[in-house]
């Protein structure tokens, strides 16, 4: 691993804590205590990437997505009774039921051809390749003891590297982040072949800070308690296949001002606030970070990000937040449970730059113990397609500031509470205003009295109306989402 280096903090640098607090107010949303030249440069690069990623006609992407679902359909159509049946543990041979999974899952050579995953993304995050251009990095150490000088072998050391990396796990592990884990550009976090859980820690994050492309894997099962937030840099894949890896009882995972990141097949739960402090985010830079929020995963000012086959639950703030001009994001095949504020897309009614935000939410199971925000949207364009909404207590999908929400082929099962049958919630506006917001429902399946309040006029697109492809109907959702969440993978056998 020659060439992987960092600079040690100067003696006494921690005494700058009070000084940094004075400048923290202006950048508190970014958790940056010292908005220095390093972060200014990263923001300029992130803004340029967002502009380049933004699709002028988003319906070209939604159309391509629906086409892919239809093309991936098995020749033998499953019986309707199977599609609508209750979820049961699947005990048969490997069965990939949606186009993302069919691209890689039922192959017994996945462990020797891990990077095949990089060609499988769909939706607005479809150009995400993570650490495809980089080396494999194997996580063998589940500790998170030093957030300024993380040890080689830890997850934190891999995600801050400047080079592209594909990160995998060498064993099953539970990771308690001491502070937030920040993931940089061109990274893939791939949990296949291990059980990986991120849970209860308190702050920020090692292996993901390198600037070169890397594919990071895990060498064994492990529990990782992050001391502070884990910050993942550019061109990284964190690949949890082949081990059981949990990030838990610690700080959150953060993708901030980064490009090209995949996080795959890990558990994230019981995340708490990070205290902040001096945190390294690249081999050549560390700085003061304010308190992290306690989200499961935060995507801040980042582009081309794909979250796939994650199991998330019970975090202090949100499970997944996508904010601050992030775009080109796909969240797919995830299982979300036991949480209040599930997904936040756009964090401020005053931040109009989030009009550039474009996100695909597909093949996810919104399960037991969820309350609201699945997602809660501002400003941008959101394709919510072929998800299974089996539980909510208040509402499922909400928004403010004129977001475009296209709901297609989802199944919505309303709770018993008569006051919570409405799927949608328009926030911060009178009906005279929100009636013009484009919130459309097509081929959705409504059960137990669920209903979607549509609004807005006709869809504006350059695509000829006759060429618009209908989504797979909501009656197919149980099959499409049957394997949502982290899945067991053993080398030499299909996942």
Q: Which of 156, 192, 289, 373 is catalytic?
A: 373
pLDDT at residue 1, as a whole number: 31
What is the number of alpha carbons within 13 Å of residue 375 lying toward its C-beta? 34
Whole-Å CA distances, 151 to 146, 147, 159, 222, 311: 8, 9, 12, 16, 27
User: Would you say 233 and 208 are in contact if contact means Cβ atoms under 8 Å apart?
Assistant: yes
pLDDT at residue 212, as a whole number: 67
Catalytic-residue membership of 289: no
- Measured at the CA of 151, the angle between CA 229 and CA 264, to 5 degrees, comes to 55
Burial pattern 209-241, b for ≥16 Cβ within 10 A else e, equals: bbbbbbbbbbbbbbbbbbbbbbbbbbbbbbbbb
Task: Using CA atoms of 397, 402, 408, 412 in order, give the dihedral in degrees to the nearest 10.
Answer: 20
Task: Measure the CA–CA gap between 397 and 385, rounded to whole angstroms.
Answer: 12
DSSP bridge pairs for 246: 174, 267
Residues of the chain predicted below pLDDT 50: 1-28, 75-76, 78-85, 202-207
DSSP bridge pairs for 366: 336, 389
Q: And the tokens for 228?
A: 């502070």
For the stretch 402-431, pLDDT in tens is 999 999 999 999 999 999 999 999 999 999
User: Would you say 476 and 409 are in contact if contact means Cβ atoms under 8 Å apart?
Assistant: yes
Query: What backbone phi and psi angles, to 5 degrees, belong to 103?
Result: -70, -25
Tell me the helix, strand and coil percentages in the chain, rounded to 5: 20, 40, 45
Yes or no: domain 135-480 corresponds to CATH 3.40.190.10: no
pTM for this entry: 0.90
Q: And the tokens for 477?
A: 């959702």
How many Cβ atoms are within 10 Å of 7's Cβ, its own excluded?
12
User: Would you say 176 and 223 are in contact if contact means Cβ atoms under 8 Å apart?
Assistant: yes
Gyration radius from the chain CA atoms:
21
pLDDT at residue 136, as a whole number: 94
Cα of 208 vs its chain's centroid, Å: 16
pLDDT at residue 117, as a whole number: 96
Helix (H) or strand (E) holding 291: none
The ranges assigned to domains in the chain are: 135-480
- Measured at the CA of 248, the angle between CA 174 and CA 18, to 5 degrees, comes to 125
Task: Measure the CA–CA gap between 342 and 171, rounded to whole angstroms.
Answer: 29
């Amino acid at each position: 691993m020659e060439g992987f280096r960092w600079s040690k903090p100067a003696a006494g640098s921690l005494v700058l804590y009070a000084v940094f607090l004075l400048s923290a107010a202006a950048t508190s949303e970014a958790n940056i205590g010292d908005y220095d030249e390093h972060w200014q440069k990263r923001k300029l690069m992130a803004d340029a990437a967002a502009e380049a990623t933004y699709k002028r006609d988003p319906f070209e992407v939604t159309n391509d997505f629906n086409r892919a679902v239809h093309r991936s359909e098995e020749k033998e159509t499953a019986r309707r009774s199977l599609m609508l049946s209750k979820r049961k543990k699947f005990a048969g041979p490997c069965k990939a039921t949606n186009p993302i999974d069919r691209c890689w899952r039922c192959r017994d050579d996945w462990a020797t051809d891990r990077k095949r995953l990089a060609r499988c993304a769909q939706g607005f995050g479809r150009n995400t390749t993570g650490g495809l251009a980089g080396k494999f990095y194997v996580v063998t150490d589940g500790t998170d003891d030093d957030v300024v000088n993380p040890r080689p072998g830890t997850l934190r050391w891999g995600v801050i590297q400047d080079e592209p990396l594909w990160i995998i796990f060498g064993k099953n592990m539970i990771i308690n982040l001491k502070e937030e884990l920040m993931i940089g550009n061109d990274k893939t976090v791939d949990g296949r072949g291990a059980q990986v859980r991120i849970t209860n820690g308190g702050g920020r994050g090692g292996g993901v800070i390198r600037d070169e492309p890397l594919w990071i894997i895990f060498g064994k099962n492990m529990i990782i308690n992050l001391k502070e937030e884990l910050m993942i840099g550019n061109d990284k894949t964190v690949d949890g296949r082949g081990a059981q890896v949990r990030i838990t009882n610690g700080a959150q995972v953060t993708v901030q001002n980064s490009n090209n990141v995949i996080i795959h097949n890990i558990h994230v739960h019981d995340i708490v606030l990070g205290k902040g402090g001096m945190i390294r985010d690249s081999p050549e830079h560390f700085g003061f970070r304010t308190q992290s929020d306690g989200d499961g995963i935060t995507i801040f000012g980042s582009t081309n990000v794909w979250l796939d086959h994650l199991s998330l639950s019970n975090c202090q703030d949100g499970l997944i937040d996508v904010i601050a001009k992030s775009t080109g994001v796909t969240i797919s095949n995830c299982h979300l449970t036991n949480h209040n504020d599930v997904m936040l897309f756009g964090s401020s009614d005053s931040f109009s730059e989030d009009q550039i935000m474009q996100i695909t939410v597909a093949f996810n199971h919104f399960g037991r113990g969820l309350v609201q925000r699945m997602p809660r949207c501002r400003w941008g364009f959101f394709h919510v397609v072929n998800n299974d909404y089996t539980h909510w207590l208040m509402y499922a999908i909400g928004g403010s500031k004129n977001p475009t929400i296209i709901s297609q082929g989802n199944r919505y099962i309303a709770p018993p509470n008569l006051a919570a049958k409405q799927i949608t919630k328009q926030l911060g506006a009178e009906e005279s205003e929100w009636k013009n917001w484009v919130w459309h429902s097509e081929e959705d399946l409504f059960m137990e009295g669920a209903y979607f309040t549509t609004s807005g006029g006709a869809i504006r697109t350059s695509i000829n109306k006759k060429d618009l492809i209908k989504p797979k109907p909501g009656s197919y959702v149980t099959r499409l989402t049957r394997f949502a969440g982290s899945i067991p993978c053993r080398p030499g056998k299909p996942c």
